[in-house]
Every structure is written in C-alpha cells, then in structure tokens.
Chains A and B, each alone.
Chain A
Amino acid sequence: GDSVTQMEGPVTLSEEAFLTINCTYTATGYPSLFWYVQYPGEGLQLLLKATKADDKGSNKGFEATYRKETTSFHLEKGSVQVSDSAVYFCALSGGGATGNQFYFGTGTSLTVIP
C-alpha cells in the first residue's frame, strides 16, 4: 500500500545552519505530496505542497521538489531560525479506498539553538 518514509529525528541545528529532512514515498498512481509542520501545543499546519512531478513547493524559506524518479520529496531550508523549531511531517494524498486518503510519515523533530 501507499506509505511515506521520513528521516528519523530528533534533529538539532544551530541558527543559520542548512536543513534537509529526507522523505521518500511509495504510491500507486500519481499522489500529491505535502509537508506539514506542528509547532508545540498547536495543530498541524500545511507548510508546502506539490501536486505533480518536478513541481517545487515553497513557503517561509522552505522548499521541496517532487522527484518521481527517486520517489522523494526532501524538505530544505538554507538558513534555519529558532522559530523553525517544530515537528515536520511528510505526507501524501491519493491513496486508500477513496483515492483521497492521506498518509503521514512519523514526523521529524527539529530544534534550532541560538
């Protein structure tokens, strides 16, 4: 079945460091791919998305490119800030009985230290 495999954490970086969180997926068909972020005590928020191969999603300095050939959707940011400390979830949409189910990765906790 469809699934998402995400880089395990926790990840600790110094402010202004480069961030990469790896995400690979398994899917039948042509899923849409997402990164959600969960700040402490809050619900999940959409960070960025890509709906077809070679699309690049971007938001708040974060980027991810939908790579069909490597079935990947890695999250990157050139210079992280303390306020980026959160849990990041990779997800895909397009699977399940309805073709519309979301599958989430296990999440990667990021802590950015000053």
Chain B
Amino acid sequence: EAGVAQSPRYKIIEKRQSVAFWCNPISGHATLYWYQQILGQGPKLLIQFQNNGVVDDSQLPKDRFSAERLKGVDSTLKIQPAKLEDSAVYLCASKPGRTTHEQFFGPGTRLTVL
C-alpha cells in the first residue's frame, strides 16, 4: 500500500513570497491533516479535512495560510505571503475515518524562509 505522498520535499523562499505544498493521502482515507512542525517542537495541527470539508481550522493563521481539498482526495496548503517564522516542516497525515485513531504521516516538506 502506497503511503502518504508530499511534494516538494524541500523549499527555500524569501519572505513575502508565496509557496504551496501538495499532499496525496493514502487511497480511501477520508480524513486528512496538515501539521506544522517547528524545529525542536512537536507537530501542531493547522487544519483537518473530512472528505472535502473542513472539520477544524481553529489553529490555521487564516490571514496568510489557506488549504483546500478538492474532490476529497489531494490537498494543497498555501502560504501567502511567507514570514520568517513560517520556517518549519509541514506534515500531511491521513486516516481512514473519524472513528479510527492512527494517523499515517507523509515525509514532510521542509520550508526555509530567508
């Protein structure tokens, strides 16, 4: 079974530029998460989707971050404009449904904002 795919793996941009990350969850997984992991910290949830609907985006900085999951499969996370403090690893995770607990993580995208 293929795992969660993310691209790109690495991205370097200058502050005030825009960037987008892509995630392809495990086939059939209804729930998709985006996390931000700052160096030395644990992952922090940004947004949770159930199929193509947003379930929880309470910790998403909506003035600059946006995410969508069209057709309930792939998802993109965008930052516009980026700030220095956005430098982090952005993790995508998925799980089959709302009642199961285990999340399956992708390898992450490491973003450096200069």
A, B bound: yes
Q: Is B72 an interface residue (CB 8 A)?
A: no
The distance from the CB of A67 to the nearest CB of chain B, in whole angstroms, is 18
**Which one of A12-20, A70-78, A95-103 contacts B?**
A95-103
Interface size band for A: 20 to 34
Write the chain B residue with the least CB distance to A89: B42
Tell me how far the C-beta of B80 lies from the nearest C-beta in chain A, rounded to whole angstroms.
Answer: 25
Shortest Cβ distance from A97 into B: residue? B56
Chain-A contact segment, one of B11-19, B63-71, B97-105? B97-105
Known: A43-B108, A44-B91. A96 touches B58 (CB 8 A): yes
Does chain A have a CB within 8 A of B43? Answer: yes
Residues of B contacting A102 in the complex (Cβ-Cβ under 8 angstroms): 33, 43, 45, 103
Q: Which residue in B3, B42, B55 is a CB contact (below 8 Å) of A98? A: B55
Task: Say yes or no for A25: interface residue by CB 8 A criterion.
Answer: no
A6-B42 Cα distance, complex, nearest whole Å: 10
Task: Name the one of A51, A96, A107 contacting B42, with C-beta atoms under 8 angstroms.
Answer: A107
Interface: B96 (CB within 8 A): no
A102 to B91, CA, bound (A): 13
Question: Which interface residue of B56, B98, B106 has the most chain A CB atoms within 10 A?
Answer: B56
Given contacts A42-B107, A98-B48, A101-B56, contact A106 B102 (CB under 8 A): no
Report whether over half of chain A's contact residues are helix, strand or loop; otherwise say mixed.
strand
Q: Which of B20-52 contact A (CB under 8 A)?
A: 33, 40-45, 48
Contact (A49, B42) CB under 8 Å given A43-B107, A96-B56, A97-B56:
no
Nearest to B106 among chain A residues (CB) is A43
A101 touches B45 (CB 8 A): yes
**B88 on the A face (CB < 8 A):** no
Nearest B residue to A38 via CB reads B105
- Known: A96-B45, A106-B40, A106-B41. Is A51-B101 also a contact (CB below 8 A)? yes
Chain A residues close to B by CB (< 8 Å): 4, 6, 32, 34, 36, 41-46, 49, 51, 89, 91, 93, 96-98, 100-102, 104-107
Provide a sorted-by-A list of 8 A–B residue pairs whose CB atoms are within 8 angstroms: A43-B105, A43-B107, A43-B108, A49-B101, A100-B98, A105-B42, A106-B40, A107-B41
